[in-house]
Structure 1
Amino acid sequence: MDVRRLETFVAVARSTTLAEAADRLGCARSTVTGHLQGLERDLGASLVERGGSVNRLTGAGTRFLEYATDILDKLAQAQAAVAAAAEDGGGRLNLGATASLCTYRLPGFLRTLHRLMPHLDAQVVVGSVPELREQVGRGELSAALVNSATVPAARPSAVAPDDRAAGEDDRRPLWTDRVALVGAPEQVARPRRLLVTAPGCVYRDLAERQALPRLGRVQVQQVGSVDGVTSSVLAGMGVGVVPAVAVGPHLRSRRLVELPLPALPPVVTELIWNAEVTPPHVIPHLRRLRPPQPHPPAVPRPSPSARSKGGRRLRRSPVGVVASTGGDAVRT
């Protein structure tokens, strides 16, 4: 079975249209169609419904997606293992991350790396976004997880080595997180203190530029990290700007509530790397990382009379496969 056809099918399954899949793969739409038809001939089954404006998998396609993804993952792991063995080891990835991402995104990301490359030695250092970008550009770090209120535009490739920035081929946006201004229930009516993270943190910038003008006259107090803001807010010291994913349980339990103010801009987290210092066998894995897809809307439970048809029980199958990393997920 042709690996390129498997890659094309997975891209089609994760794209809205064939044109989008072709764009992801960097090939013509006719090539996508040819690969898909060839795979269907090999399997003797239709994998994608024909005639629709968006890509929809057939039952056979949904079933095969799980196996196709697993085959590609196993192949990538085999390639990495062979490359690592040739290098007499798994290789080392010097990885940077912001303090806020170490709190709620780094553990899941490291689990994904370990699943894909079990022998990789990933060493993590913490820094601000400007520091991490400069260190990756200079080759002091192989890669870094950085976050910002907007996705930074790619810089031209014709720059000096010391000013080198991640381009389209050496960065991947991974998460888009909703931002919340939260406080204990007794604090949100009349907040007197805005609790902020350290300078250089995207949540500090959002607090000062977006939240502070909306709160009026309040005292600004630095409490360090996202964890520090969360703990201080829970203690009733004031209100703070944090990623909603970091305080989800507290919001659901009503220990914290959101202030009724206009929504704050979301924060995008991306992985950037320097291809000149990143182990060659690691780069293909990094390029395959993709943002997790949103879950489809919940389907109402059918009534007893509609649960079966012609004596067969009806059930809904998932159409996506996500590489789970605990509470986080990165699609590969």
Structure 2
Amino acid sequence: MELQQMRYVVAVAETSSFTRAAERCLVVQSALSHQIARLERELGARLFERTSRRVRLTPAGAAFLPAARQCLDAAERAAAEVAAAVGEVRGRLAVGLISTVAAIDVAGALREFRRRYPHVRISLRVRASEELVEQVEQGAVDVAFLGLPTTARPRGVDARELARDRLVAVVAPDHPLAGEPAVDLRRLSTEVFVDLPARTAGRAQSDQAFSAAGLSRDVAFEVTTAHLIARLVEQGLGVAMLPSAYVPQLTGVTTVEVVDAPVRVEYAAWSRDGCSPAATAFLAVLDIPVDLPVAHGAG
């Protein structure tokens, strides 16, 4: 069993196509198919079901895929550790963040990291906090920046609190509340809301605050990014609540203080198994030490 065969399996699984997988891996399709067939013979099981219309994993393939990814990650990490031992930082840096991160300048930090470590391949993904925690646990993300209500902590990962911030109301410039110095949750509960999807950490902050106050609200628009929330608010379709440190990035909307607003806590999170050299170097760019005691999430 060879690492290259595992790369081919992962590529086919992710693209659902032998042709696209071969293009990604920069090999001819016949060579990729031959190596996967050779691996299947060695394993004694077919990894993919092939039809004229689609390619999908068999049960055996679904069982093999996570282990293959772990092997590839381990090989990549081994090479990075060797490079680090001779004074070089190489490999990959996968960063995840929520769309409303405000405690750090992610783009600026990545620019500085690339300047210092040009041989590291950087990737970035924007997801909900709970999904990012899972990806850190699985090794798909090296460092994640999360936002959680005060009632929750990152679970199953190492994390360091970065900042706390109150939410503010976000309304259209011509909304009746736009001229008010402050508002409370009871008044806001009479409005139609634009918010993040239900059962996400970003949504929970507001849901818990209204519930604790004995109030309900109408969330008519559920979207996945703060930018789209702001655009819908700007058009007068609803109001929203977003972190006060983030809203200065938005245009076309007005903010109003909320006297009984919930608090959002931002964290940096990484694997309990330790950081790769690239992840350690990136956290150092942000002045976040990983060799000091950290708050271990439960789970």
Corresponding residue to 1:187 among 165, 168, 175: 175
Would the aligned equivalents of 1:230 and 1:242 in 2 still touch at CA under 8 Å? no
Identity of aligned residues (%): 24
> TM-score w.r.t. structure 2 length?
0.52
Query: In structure 1, how many angstroms separate the alpha carbons of the residues matched to 2:263 and 2:230?
Result: 18
> Aligned AA for 2:204?
D
Shift of 1:269: 1.7
Would the aligned equivalents of 1:181 and 1:211 in 2 still touch at CA under 8 Å? no
- Listed as ranges, the matches of 1:94-173 within 5 Å are 94-101=94-101, 106-150=106-150, 165-167=156-158, 171-173=159-161
What stretches of structure 1 of length at least 5 have no aligned partner?
1-79, 156-164, 292-332
Q: 1:89 to 1:249 in 2, by over 3 A?
A: closer
Shift of 1:240: 0.2
Deviation per CA, 1:40-75, whole angstroms, max 9, x where unpaired?
xxxxxxxxxxxxxxxxxxxxxxxxxxxxxxxxxxxx
> TM-score w.r.t. structure 1 length?
0.47
- Listed as ranges, the matches of 1:260-279 within 5 Å are 261-274=258-271, 276=273, 278-279=275-276
Q: 1:152 to 1:209 in 2, by over 3 A?
A: closer
Aligned with 1:141: secondary structure? Answer: coil
Query: In structure 1, how many angstroms separate the alpha carbons of the residues matched to 2:220 and 2:271?
Result: 36
- Listed as ranges, the matches of 1:1-332 within 5 Å are 83=83, 86=86, 90-101=90-101, 106-150=106-150, 165-167=156-158, 171-189=159-177, 192-211=191-210, 218-224=217-223, 225-248=225-248, 255-258=253-256, 261-274=258-271, 276=273, 278-280=275-277, 282-283=279-280, 285-286=282-283, 289-290=286-287
Aligned with 2:229: secondary structure? Answer: helix
Would the aligned equivalents of 1:195 and 1:238 in 2 still touch at CA under 8 Å? yes
CA RMSD for the aligned pairs?
A: 3.9
Where is the strand percentage greater, Structure 1 or Structure 2?
Answer: 2
Aligned with 2:132: secondary structure? Answer: helix
Aligned with 1:245: secondary structure? Answer: coil
Aligned length: 195
Aligned with 1:203: secondary structure? Answer: helix
Greater RCO, CA 8 A, separation 6+: 2
> Aligned AA for 1:257?
T
Shift of 1:101: 3.4
Query: In structure 2, how many angstroms separate the alpha carbons of the residues matched to 1:249 and 1:97?
Result: 16
Shift of 1:256: 0.8
